[in-house]
Amino acid sequence: MVSKLAMITGRPVKCTLTREEVFYAHRGRHPVLMWVRTGVTRDGLITAMHFKSALDGGAYGSYGVASTFYTGVLQPITYDIPAYRFEGCRVFTNKPPCGPKRGHGTPQPRFALELHLEKIAHDLGLDPAEMKRKNFVKPMTRTVNWLRVTSCGLEECAQKVLHASGYGDRKRLPGHGMGFAISSYLSGAGTAIYWNDMPHSEVQIKVDRGGVTAYCGAMDIGQGSDSVLAAIVAEQLGLQPKDVRLVTADSDTTPIDLGSYSSRVTFMAGNAALEAARKMRLMLVEAVEAAGRKYEDVKFEEACVLAEAKFGTLVSAGSYTPPKIAGPYKGSGVGPSPAYSYSACVVDLDADARTGLVHINKVWIAHDVGRAINPLLVEGQVEGSVYMGLGEALMEEQEFRKGLHKWPSMLEYKSPTFLDVPEMETFIVETDDPEGPYGAKEAGQGPLLPVIPAVNAAVYDALGVWIDETPVTPEKIVEALRRKDKGEPARVGPTRFPDIPYPACIKVEPPPKDLSASPAEI
């Protein structure tokens, strides 16, 4: 609309929304009601899981179908679940429409799954963190729902945060608690929302008498994707990032990139940049060696002169298309990704029994990003995720009253201020993914996910009550403690899951677990 108006008027056009309009027009996270049943051995090994979800979709479809699948597909990507059944549905309601938001449909089931496993561990008399670790997926395996796990730093992430926080040796004091949770997320969806066989990302490089320009459609929305592109091209050519000129996010001049969503840009545009830069490097090396010299021994400008003299105008192009690894069943397109990031988190908090007030003391978080091309940006993404996760855990909630959003304003819809953010300790774990550019995976969404269940688990650790929903407000804690004192179940949260006439499940044989064994169907 803005583009069209700019074309008609020949003037710059800007569209601004009030906070209230944002609430009505944006696609917020789906509220999801969930039901989980898990089979475990006495030692806490998972034997099977049945997961049901029901999403409150709001008034329109958005990406709701994908979101619905996402509430079911990533459970087996962190825990080895030999048999798995998932049923999901999404209902239309007279509210603002919901869609993908940081974690696209997976923070909700992650919340349910992590708390569910905590409860199982308590029932079995096991340490929750140890029980979860026993069930971690291993690198280079396939999950029961045909997802391909390549690099996986889950165990290393868990070790980092458990060790640094002293979780295992924590003092058990009333009112003080620690919670542990893990998660995983996709480095870009393996199946594009645009249904065709063309690449998801393309990069062109031009070398012109010493000047390097990279063209890419990727949009830097503040996450720093420009710096990643420059770093990858510079690394291949033996330059500094500042030596690479970038032309990005202009559909007039740059080749296609599907966009900044789905945690895909570093992985996919990065791989396209890497391919283009490798091709350029080959030309430069060939020209230098034809002159009887070594690439390492000549100045870059000199190499360019030699190459341009030999080949004419120097251009190269690279592109990236994710591998077709979806399982042989309908709906398998949601979930596959060329690589998965992994995170683990420990939250330390004080929870006051009289008032229900929670004070977060510290958060430890480790994130397996494969390889940190720009460590500062990775830390920024991880810490921003902790901030946002704590907001979702403790404050954010879209409430409705008389059919209207209850408080659609900056002031009344609470998200944390600087003063509400605790100390954080961030660990970057590098596992060198075989398919990521220089081994890199995503960092933009995954680290948010473990923060929320870790808060609820820590509240249980502190006070012995479960808040089985978000946000964890003081009044819910007070109410759960009241119920506990009366001998009722010591929890606040949904009490039933409706009978939903789900369609019959599609049964799928699991693939060979070992990634080196190729399944006949692929």
Partner 1 sequence: MLRLPRFRYLRPKTAREAAHMARDLGPKAMFVAGGTDLYPKLKRRQFEIEALIGLDFLDRRIDGDTIGAGATLADIASHAGVPRGYGQAAGLVSSPPLRNAGTAGGNLCVDTRCNYYDMTYEWRKAIGFCIKKDGDICLVAPSSPRCWAVSSSDTAPMAIALGATVVLAGDDGEREAPVAALYRDDGIDYLAKQPHEVVTEIRMPVDARTSSAYVKLRRRGSIDFPIAGAAVALELDGDVVDSCRIVLSAVASHPLEAAAAGEFLAGKRLDRDVIQAAADLAAKPAKPLDNADLTHFWRKRMVRVVVEQAIQEAIGAGGSTVKLAGQ
Q: How far is the CB of 455 from partner 1 (least distance, A)?
A: 16
Provide the token pair at 472.
């964890």
Q: How far is the CB of 139 from partner 1 (least distance, A)?
A: 41
Q: Between 138 and 406, name the residue whose CB sits nearer to partner 1.
A: 406
Q: How far is the CB of 493 from partner 1 (least distance, A)?
A: 17
Look at residues 130, 191, 503, 166 and name the one whose alpha carbon lies nearest to residue 332.
191
Contact between 240 and partner 1 per CB under 8 A: no
Contact between 376 and partner 1 per CB under 8 A: no
> What sign for the dihedral angle of Cα 351, 353, 356, 357?
negative
Q: Between 41 and 355, name the residue whose CB sits nearer to partner 1.
A: 355
Give, in order, the Cα–Cα distances in Å from 115 to each of 34, 171, 450, 453.
12, 21, 11, 6
Interacting span for partner 1 (CB under 8 A) from 17-25, 50-58, 301-309, 498-506: 17-25
The DSSP H or E segment spanning 425 is strand 423-429
Interacting span for partner 1 (CB under 8 A) from 55-63, 87-95, 381-389, 417-425: 417-425
Amino acid identity for residue 81 in this structure: I
* The dihedral formed by the CA atoms of 429, 431, 437 and 442, expressed in degrees to the nearest 10: -50
Q: Between 423 and 475, name the residue whose CB sits nearer to partner 1.
A: 475
Q: How far is the CB of 58 from partner 1 (least distance, A)?
A: 17
The DSSP H or E segment spanning 33 is strand 32-40
Cis geometry, peptide bond prior to residue 471 (ω within 30 degrees of 0):
yes
Contact between 473 and partner 1 per CB under 8 A: yes
Residue that has been written with the tokens 């020209």 in this structure: 287
Choosing from 156, 243, 350, 432, the residue that interacts with partner 1 (CB under 8 A) is: 350
Q: How far is the CB of 216 from partner 1 (least distance, A)?
A: 32
Choosing from 336, 416, 436, 437, the residue that interacts with partner 1 (CB under 8 A) is: 416
Angle at alpha carbon of residue 325, lines to 321 and 326, rounded to 5°: 115
Choosing from 474, 493, 510, 519, the residue that interacts with partner 1 (CB under 8 A) is: 474
3-state secondary structure string, 48-93?
A: EEEEEEEEEEECCCCCHHHHHHHHHHCHHHCECCCCEEEEEEEEEC
Choosing from 18, 41, 253, 518, the residue that interacts with partner 1 (CB under 8 A) is: 18
Look at residues 269, 321, 326, 382 and name the one whose alpha carbon lies nearest to residue 147.
326
Burial environment of residue 152 by CB neighbours within 10 A (0 to 12, 13 to 18, 19 or more): buried
Considering CB under 8 A, how many residues would be counted as binding partner 1? 32
Contact between 290 and partner 1 per CB under 8 A: no
Q: How far is the CB of 473 from partner 1 (least distance, A)?
A: 7
Q: Between 89 and 395, name the residue whose CB sits nearer to partner 1.
A: 395
Contact between 16 and partner 1 per CB under 8 A: yes
Classified as helix, coil or strand, 226 is: helix
CB distance 224 to 374 below 8 Å: yes
Q: How far is the CB of 464 from partner 1 (least distance, A)?
A: 18
Q: How far is the CB of 60 from partner 1 (least distance, A)?
A: 19
Q: Between 221 and 357, name the residue whose CB sits nearer to partner 1.
A: 357
Per-residue contact string for residues 384-413; x = within reach of partner 1 by CB under 8 A: -----------x-----xx-x-xxxx-xx-
Q: Between 94 and 313, name the residue whose CB sits nearer to partner 1.
A: 94
Q: How far is the CB of 175 from partner 1 (least distance, A)?
A: 7
Q: Between 14 and 496, name the residue whose CB sits nearer to partner 1.
A: 14
Interacting span for partner 1 (CB under 8 A) from 116-124, 187-195, 209-217, 473-481: 473-481
CB distance 464 to 172 below 8 Å: no
Choosing from 50, 245, 414, 484, the residue that interacts with partner 1 (CB under 8 A) is: 414
Provide the token pair at 105.
């449909």
Contact between 496 and partner 1 per CB under 8 A: no
Q: How far is the CB of 406 from partner 1 (least distance, A)?
A: 7
Q: How far is the CB of 357 from partner 1 (least distance, A)?
A: 6
92 strand-pairing partners:
58
Q: Between 302 and 397, name the residue whose CB sits nearer to partner 1.
A: 397
CB distance 323 to 190 below 8 Å: yes
Contact between 423 and partner 1 per CB under 8 A: no
3-state DSSP: the chain helix, strand, coil percent, rounded to 5?
A: 35, 20, 45
Per-residue contact string for residues 148-177; x = within reach of partner 1 by CB under 8 A: ---------------------------x--
360 strand-pairing partners:
349
Classified as helix, coil or strand, 115 is: helix
Burial profile 71-87: b = 16 or more Cβ within 10 angstroms, e = fewer: bbbbbbbbbbbeebebb
Look at residues 217, 225, 232, 239 and name the one whose alpha carbon lies nearest to residue 276.
232
Residue that has been written with the tokens 């029980």 in this structure: 131
Interacting span for partner 1 (CB under 8 A) from 5-13, 36-44, 356-364, 484-492: 356-364
Interacting span for partner 1 (CB under 8 A) from 12-20, 82-90, 229-237, 332-340: 12-20
Angle between helices 474-485 and 451-463 (to 10 degrees): 40
Interface with partner 1 (CB under 8 A): 16-18, 20, 175, 350, 352, 354-357, 359, 395, 401-402, 404, 406-409, 411-412, 414, 416-420, 473-475, 478
